[in-house]
Structure 1
Amino acid sequence: MSILVKEAEKYIFDLFSKKLSNKFVYHNLAHTQRVVKEVQGFIDSLKLSEQDAENLLVAAWFHDTGFIKGAENHEQESVKILTQFLQEKKVEVKRIEAISALIMATKMGHKPANDLEKIITDSDCAHLGDKTFDDKSALLRREWETLANKKFTDAEWLATNIDFLINVHKYHSEYALKNWTKGKDKNLSKLLINQKKLEDELKKNKKKKEALDLKKNKSNVPERGVETMFRVALKNHMTLSNIADTKANILLSVNAIIVSLALSNLLPKLDNPSNNYLILPTVVFIIFTVASIILSILATRPNVTQGKFTKEDVANKKVNLLFFGNFHQMELSDFEWGISEMMQDRDYLYGSLTKDLYFLGLVLNRKYKILRLTYTVFMIGIIVSVLTFAIAFKIQETGTFL
């Protein structure tokens, strides 16, 4: 290491320790040392003249000294500090200008004019291609928020970094392209993955918020209106169920009377050989009547369920405690506990009423389907039986149907 470089290093240590604000958590001595280290890596890998190497190292030590006076136009301030230092060391003007140009090359957006400018520019952004990128990015964000009052959300900061890596920054030297591009691409991929995760999380939170808002809006529905709706709907279903049962009972009674009359009046006459023509009509009549009776019974036959539930069923809101079939074999204490839990949970209570209404509708659907079939069988049976009796009487009287 040359004497000039050693003196520059000592000068920078003393300058930053005395005049640089602690608020510069990124642009500080540690950052300067890292840039110097990267420049030294270039020097060790490339065949540079002793003066070019010395110029690069001095420029690296001084490139951020202007931050002692603030972030704005810090490159120009760095050049002023460098110029004063080199003049005191009796360095020729032409060389001072060359080192100053290297410092100005680190300004954002500058296009390097030669290999030395490429080296210092790439060294200044070497962290973009190594594993410390996340840490350095966090420090830069903190510095901007503290000193420039630039506030970023996580999504905004990710977008800013992604845009910088894709659209703004690029390495210029062959050494940087070979050694740091792969790391930069990895860091960019990590940012894109984090951005996708954050977007998914934001969408998830948005859906949760919408669900909560919807739930809140639902909770604003008047309780009396909801209760009236359930009361009217359940009453209508029960009325329809009673009508179905009444119709089934009527058909059951009528067909039972018909069978009784048939058995008491028709069957005794069948013993007489002269009444053989009545056998077929009687059998047809009785078959349709018995079928109507069976269908009427099916329409009104109750469905027996297990009649038990567990505390897990209540906790998971899987059981409807408003239907007797779900609790008729439970102990009173367990049933009272379940009802108490349900009454404390508004969603569970209304959910149970909704299920009760739904399954009652399924029962009604089954009843009315069977009832419709029963009426159809009864009607066809009457028609077929009457026609059969008429044909039988005609054949008996004339000996032929025609």
Structure 2
Amino acid sequence: MADIVKETDDFVLNLFKENLPNTFLYHNYTHTKRVYKSINEIIEGSQIDVKDAKVLRLAALLHDTGYIQTREGHEEESVKIATKFLKNKEIDKETIEAVNKCIMATKFKDTPKSNLEEIIRDADSSHFGKDYFKEASEFLRQEYKQQGIHDYTPVQWRDENIKVLVEKHQFYSEYALKNWQKQKEDNLASLIKDKKKDKKRRRKETMKAELKAKYKDASPERGIQTFYRTALRNHIKLSDIADTKANILLSVNAIIISLVLSNLLSKLDSNPFLIVPSAVFVVSSTITMILAVIATRPNVTRGEFTKEDVKKKRVNLTFFGNFHRMELSQYQWAIEELLKDRDYVYSSLTKDLYFLGKVLDRKYRILRWTYTIFVLGIIVSILAFGISFAATEQSVQEVGNTIVN
């Protein structure tokens, strides 16, 4: 018996090696040896005669050979392969028929009709009652995916396993019920526990998303905060732009005045016609600089407030000019009072926006006049220089004519 079992084992190994596609991640030689090991476990723990043990071992090795031909109806193909192989090995007809019945008993939907069929069925599904159940089950899921049969998500596959363990699978043999049923129940309990955890997590995430959406839609709080944040940012940017423009004018006109004073001042005695255009140039540049300084000149208020001002909401605590002379403790108290009242917070932000807008209005109005005076000063200065040069040239020609005559 040992020889035919060994020959069958070698035959199945070579058959799978040469003909079984790589996509069979579960139904392969490893699975066959796992079933064979489970058969031996039942045989050693039960009272089974030698002839039946031989049948069970051969059926365990040959039961999935039909997968080299087809997935659907592989049991029938396995019977054909087993019959041909065992006949070639001159195995008696009775043994071959017994092996074939055991192979057909591995059909999951059929009910075993004999003790041997119950044993082979239990061995074929023994992974349900083993501690490697999840690992073996994952190989089967990946096999389905690789072969395009069904792409189960991990959650769907877990639910499918729970359904199989609860509704479809059962152990039949006395040995399996005594030794594997407990582990099967533990595996089922683990799956159910994981499902509950996942369900609880998803329910928590759903509730969190619903609450977030609810408060986002039902409350204008987020929109109000966005409005104030955007408005304040824009005001500050515009203020920075105004200061930058004023600094540019200050720098340019300072350079202009330096050049005029260093180059033209020494020539005014010998070229009196340059006095007027130079004066216009210098005066316009000076006025431009003065206006640029005024535009950027800070305006700091008294920096004090009273408790009465805070209680009556008359002070804007978001602007430093209203509290820079106060003690820290007084300012902390005022802020605490402010934060207690939502309307006071928004009122303070509104005031801050309003007065920032007033400051911007003042800056940009002064800058507009500054740029206007700067441009007009350049134009008038150039015209004055041109008129002076023309008048001087005409005077020189008249003097020359007089001398000639």
Shorter-chain TM-score range: 0.5 to 0.7
TM alignment of 1:168-179, pairs within 5 A: 168-179=168-179
Deviating above 6 A after TM superposition, structure 1's stretches of 4 or more consecutive aligned residues are 218-222, 224-228, 320-325
Partner of 1:14: 14
Q: Distance in 2 between matches of 1:127 and 1:83?
A: 27
* Pairwise CA distance, 1:303: 10
Partner of 1:127: 127
Is the alpha carbon distance of 1:86 and 1:227 closer, same or farther for their aligned partners in structure 2, counting shifts above 3 Å?
Answer: closer
* Pairwise CA distance, 1:211: 4.1
Instruction: Tell me, yes or no, if the aligned pair for 1:322 and 1:356 is still in contact at 8 Å.
Output: no
Partner of 1:271: none
Partner of 1:70: 70
Partner of 1:26: 26
Tell me the SS of whatever aligns to 1:38: helix
TM alignment of 1:79-158, pairs within 5 A: 79-158=79-158
Partner of 2:208: 208
Equivalent residue in structure 2 for 1:356, among 331, 339, 342: 342
Is the alpha carbon distance of 1:218 and 1:27 closer, same or farther for their aligned partners in structure 2, counting shifts above 3 Å?
Answer: same
TM alignment of 1:3-402, pairs within 5 A: 3-214=3-214, 217=217, 302=308, 329-330=327-328, 355-357=341-343
Q: Distance in 2 between matches of 1:322 and 1:44?
A: 89
Consecutive unaligned residues of structure 1, counting only runs of 5 or more, are 229-299, 306-319, 340-351, 361-402
Identity of aligned residues (%): 37
Partner of 1:265: none
Instruction: Tell me, yes or no, if the aligned pair for 1:13 and 1:29 is still in contact at 8 Å.
Output: yes
Is the alpha carbon distance of 1:41 and 1:357 closer, same or farther for their aligned partners in structure 2, counting shifts above 3 Å?
Answer: same
Q: Distance in 2 between matches of 1:358 and 1:195?
A: 49
Which amino acid in the other structure matches residue 173 of structure 1? S
Which amino acid in the other structure matches residue 149 of structure 1? I
Q: Distance in 1 between matches of 2:201 and 2:179?
A: 35
Tell me the SS of whatever aligns to 1:57: helix
For normalisation by structure 1, the TM-score amounts to 0.57
Cα-to-partner distance string for 1:240-296 (whole Å, 9 max, x where unaligned):
xxxxxxxxxxxxxxxxxxxxxxxxxxxxxxxxxxxxxxxxxxxxxxxxxxxxxxxxx
* Pairwise CA distance, 1:5: 0.8
Which amino acid in the other structure matches residue 60 of structure 1? A
Is the alpha carbon distance of 1:322 and 1:219 closer, same or farther for their aligned partners in structure 2, counting shifts above 3 Å?
Answer: farther
For normalisation by structure 2, the TM-score amounts to 0.56
* Pairwise CA distance, 1:321: 6.2
Which amino acid in the other structure matches residue 342 of structure 2? D
Cα-to-partner distance string for 1:320-347 (whole Å, 9 max, x where unaligned):
969999x95449xx99xxx9xxxxxxxx
Which amino acid in the other structure matches residue 108 of structure 1? F
Cα-to-partner distance string for 1:62-110 (whole Å, 9 max, x where unaligned):
0111111231111111111101101111223332121100001011122
Is the alpha carbon distance of 1:217 and 1:34 closer, same or farther for their aligned partners in structure 2, counting shifts above 3 Å?
Answer: same
Aligned pair count reads: 259
Is the alpha carbon distance of 1:200 and 1:224 closer, same or farther for their aligned partners in structure 2, counting shifts above 3 Å?
Answer: closer
Instruction: Tell me, yes or no, if the aligned pair for 1:42 and 1:119 is still in contact at 8 Å.
Output: yes
Q: Distance in 2 between matches of 1:115 and 1:9?
A: 24
Which amino acid in the other structure matches residue 138 of structure 1? E
Q: Distance in 2 between matches of 1:322 and 1:82?
A: 92
Q: Distance in 2 between matches of 1:322 and 1:192?
A: 60
* Pairwise CA distance, 1:124: 0.8
Which amino acid in the other structure matches residue 30 of structure 2? A
Consecutive unaligned residues of structure 2, counting only runs of 5 or more, are 229-305, 312-316, 347-405
Tell me the SS of whatever aligns to 1:72: coil
Q: CA RMSD in A?
A: 3.9
* Pairwise CA distance, 1:114: 1.1
Is the alpha carbon distance of 1:171 and 1:190 closer, same or farther for their aligned partners in structure 2, counting shifts above 3 Å?
Answer: same
Q: Distance in 2 between matches of 1:220 and 1:302?
A: 31
Q: Distance in 2 between matches of 1:72 and 1:322?
A: 79
Q: Distance in 1 between matches of 2:5 and 2:223?
A: 82
